Structure 1
């Protein structure tokens, strides 16, 4: 994809001690990258904190003068402005590569920068879902909250899984996000199978087959060489039949301490297999959702349980996989009231936080910047390329992200 800098300014001087870069993937059209509304909001908040913020794609880095081609939000003109900027010392990864080709380009470009420069990454990255599961299931504190999980190894492995789990299963890609390419399969008493899920564009996917063996063959072709996990198809729907889950957003404050920004419910359409907002779900207050489902006492207990478990999980993830600034944690609750931990996200969305209580939406955007500012201030008084404790610094050469028809 070509870079878009027809009228770029040149602003290459000494890097500002309060300058934060936001990693993005450029794209044709306008605005020039995904999640531009969120990055614009970050820019406005950063200015109020005395920080300069600009977005850039890692493949625009020029090693000759250590510059990148960045995008800055101009509040007066209400538009994005391109300029050549010095590579920042601290970066916040909000890149969303759309294709396998773009994912590969992004990984290679970022690795090239890291090999030559020592960047402080505001947030680290988690390995794929299978690795996270393998680590957490070994801990007695978490094992009871993790649904049985196994790696998909072909149609025969899924057939065996279905026999063990009452003829139903849920499959998800180990490196997936936003609910894309998930699939539920349910066998019927007549030997057929019903499939429901989301495709790679997050569109609803519904199929039925008179022969379950044919359904398994179609699933195997659809999965191809991608890595998938198999889980039981848990009954995590409301009394009115809508799928729902709970998103807890854990973030570090300016002192580098974990805090719970908020918990929000995400509710999908009755015909959907997921509750993700990107798949058409809607956000709702967690307390009201749980009280309506389980009553005031049990609803309150579940919120307390999620808050406590979230704090323990992020602490353990950080001990194992390196420093983080924020992690989104997803929980599901069966109609029986059984709480399940579903997955962790090191690049969490925050749209649902508008329903998570007073101030949660503002804190969700402000916390990363407050934490980044504390890192920048410490860097300004020490080695400009040295990572302070808790900064989420990656060592040179580390690959930051593992990215990964019916």
Structure 2
């Protein structure tokens, strides 16, 4: 049996998703395990985690060696446990006897640098590293807000809209319970706040682009891509994420909602519909190859795309550990495909590696 391990920083995270995967594993000749990277014994290299017992239909505690294929669903923060687990995962990635379903993406600044030298560059917002609070405040211009966001992170957390209004500096950020706004009447107070905010994390700066609908709600298109049982990239689904009125982001974690892509695009004239779909297809057909030409292999990605009022198309984010809520909420018929894709791709990887070993062995014998 092929052993398949799901890694998470907290076993309470994505419980329903992991359970649905595990329920289907046995059907494909796969033993399914779940563990936290810090639960690996550094001496024996055995893992104290959970094994999914298909007879009982539930997880049970078990000690086991590192599985053949690992599915990394760890979402790292700045806390000590995250940093510990990140080091362990990097150690696992360096091992030749383990294969990851996907090897992840660099931070947003590194990703921008990579993509800005590719055919995808026209779809990118200009992105600069945050280097100085004083420099940032001096760069602000009236009616030209800037977006400040962490270089690493997901779910729209820690994103700020900052603008100059007369002598005041206005700061807004979206939380699940609503938007928080603050006005700094003196630049030096804004500088002090920025220095505290950016002391422990790397941030980036982008121009603010109005990506809101007629009701003043921010929205974007989430497209989920995954590799199939033959290792070929395939679109699983797409949907629209809509944020709160007057908000900055559309993420579901900040209280956003979903509507289907077909319902959304039907409101446009046919010429605009064709234009948007052609642009989206261009991104989908180009982006995976651009990334894998420069980076280790991936298994899945969530692409967040904004559409400006003038029809401009922008790639807002590319996530190698995407959520599935938008597709499940708007295309529930995709459920089975979503829950089996990681297993089918794991089988492909195992067969591919076996063929590689056979070819290497044949070369050795022939020589």
TM-score (norm 2): 0.89
Match of 1:237 among 212, 220, 224: 212
Shift in alpha-carbon separation, 1:366–1:277, aligned structure 2, 3 A: same
Given that 1:353 and 1:364 are in contact with CA atoms closer than 8 Å, whether structure 2 keeps it comes out as no
Question: What is aligned with 2:364?
Answer: none
Matches within 5 A, 1:140-159: 141-159=119-137
The answer to whether residue 289 in structure 2 is matched with residue 315 in structure 1 is: yes
Question: Quick one: distance in 2 between partners of 1:43 and 1:301?
Answer: 41
Q: Secondary structure at the match of 2:123?
A: coil
Report if the CA contact (8 A) 1:146-1:341 is conserved: yes
Distance 2:201 2:40 in 1: 31
Contact 2:225 2:302 (C-alpha < 8 Å) held by counterparts: yes
Instruction: Determine the structure 1 residue equivalent to 2:25.
Output: 46
Q: For residues 211 and 288 of structure 1, what CA distance do their matches in structure 2 show? A: 46
* Counterpart for residue 107 of structure 2: 128
Q: In 2 relative to 1, CA 75–310 (structure 1 residues): closer, same or farther, beyond 3 Å?
A: same
Query: Residue 71 of structure 1 corresponds to which residue in structure 2?
Result: 50
Task: Output one character per residue of 1:223-243: Cα deviation in whole Å (capped at 9) or x when no partner.
Answer: 224211111111000100111
Shift in Å, 1:74:
4.7
Q: Provide the C-alpha distance between the structure 1 equivalents of 2:155 and 2:338, rounded to a whole number of angstroms.
A: 18
Compared with structure 1, are the counterparts of its residues 85 and 252 closer, same or farther at alpha carbon in structure 2 (3 Å cutoff)? same
Return the alpha-carbon distance in structure 2 between the equivalents of residues 381 and 138 of structure 1. 35
Displacement of 1:117 in angstroms is: 5.5
TM-aligned CA distance change 1:263 to 1:56, over 3 Å? same
Whole-Å Cα distance in 2 between the matches of residues 307 and 335 of structure 1?
Answer: 20
Gaps of 5+ in 1: 1-15, 27-31, 387-406
The answer on whether the counterparts of 1:252 and 1:325 sit within 8 Å (CA) in structure 2 is yes
Deviations 1:149-178 (A, max 9, x none): 111111233234423x84311111111211
- After TM superposition, the structure 1 = structure 2 runs for residues 325-340 of structure 1, keeping only pairs within 5 Å, are 325-340=299-314
The 3-state SS of whatever aligns with 2:220 is: strand
Specify which of 212, 221, 225 is matched with residue 250 of structure 1: 225
The answer on whether the counterparts of 1:181 and 1:202 sit within 8 Å (CA) in structure 2 is no
Q: Distance in 2 between matches of 1:230 and 1:202?
A: 25
How big is the shift at 1:301? 2.6
**Which residue of the partner structure matches residue 24 of structure 1?**
8
Please point out which of 170, 173, 178 is paired with 2:155: 178
Distance 1:225 1:117 in 2: 34
Q: CA deviation at 1:136?
A: 1.2
CA offsets 1:10-38 (integer angstroms, 9 cap, x no match): xxxxxx3x221111124xxxxx3311111
8 Å CA contact retained: 2:76, 2:153: no
Would the aligned equivalents of 2:49 and 2:63 in 1 still touch at CA under 8 Å? yes
Whether contact under 8 Å (1:72, 1:80) holds in the other structure is: yes
- Between the aligned partners of 1:203 and 1:180, the Cα distance in structure 2 is 13
SS at match of 1:305: helix
The C-alpha deviation readout for 1:272-330, integer Å capped at 9, x for no partner, is 211111111112212322333x3343134313311221220111011111111111111
- 1:381 Cα offset (Å): 6.0
Task: Tell me the secondary structure at the aligned position of residue 144 of structure 1.
Answer: helix
Equivalent-residue separation in structure 1 for 2:93 and 2:332 (angstroms): 39
Checking the alignment, whether the CA contact within 8 Å between 1:291 and 1:300 is kept in structure 2 is no
Q: Name 1:191's counterpart in structure 2.
A: 167
How far is 1:257 from its partner?
A: 0.8
Find the aligned partners of 1:226 and 1:58 in 2 and give their Cα distance.
23
Residues 287, 303 of structure 1: 8 Å contact kept = no
Which aligned pairs between 1:362-401 and structure 2 lie closer than 5 A?
362-379=336-353, 383=357
1:112-171 deviation line (CA, Å, top 9, x unaligned): 4455663201111111101111111122x22221112111111233234423x8431111
Contact 1:250 1:311 in 2 (8 A): no
Deviation for aligned residue 1:214:
2.9
CA displacement 1:191-223 (0-9 Å, x = unmatched): 223211147x99743212334553343233222
Q: Report if the CA contact (8 A) 2:137-2:187 is conserved.
A: no
Q: CA deviation at 1:368?
A: 1.9
SS for the counterpart of 1:180 is: coil
- Counterpart of 1:288 in structure 2 is 263
Q: 1:62 to 1:210 in 2, by over 3 A?
A: closer
| 1-structure distance, mates of 2:343, 2:270 | 36
Residues 59, 110 of structure 1: 8 Å contact kept: no
* Contact kept in structure 2, 1:184 and 1:197, CA below 8 Å: yes
Q: Say whether the 8 Å CA contact 1:246–1:264 is kept in structure 2.
A: yes
Point out 4+ residue stretches in structure 1 off by more than 6 angstroms.
Answer: none
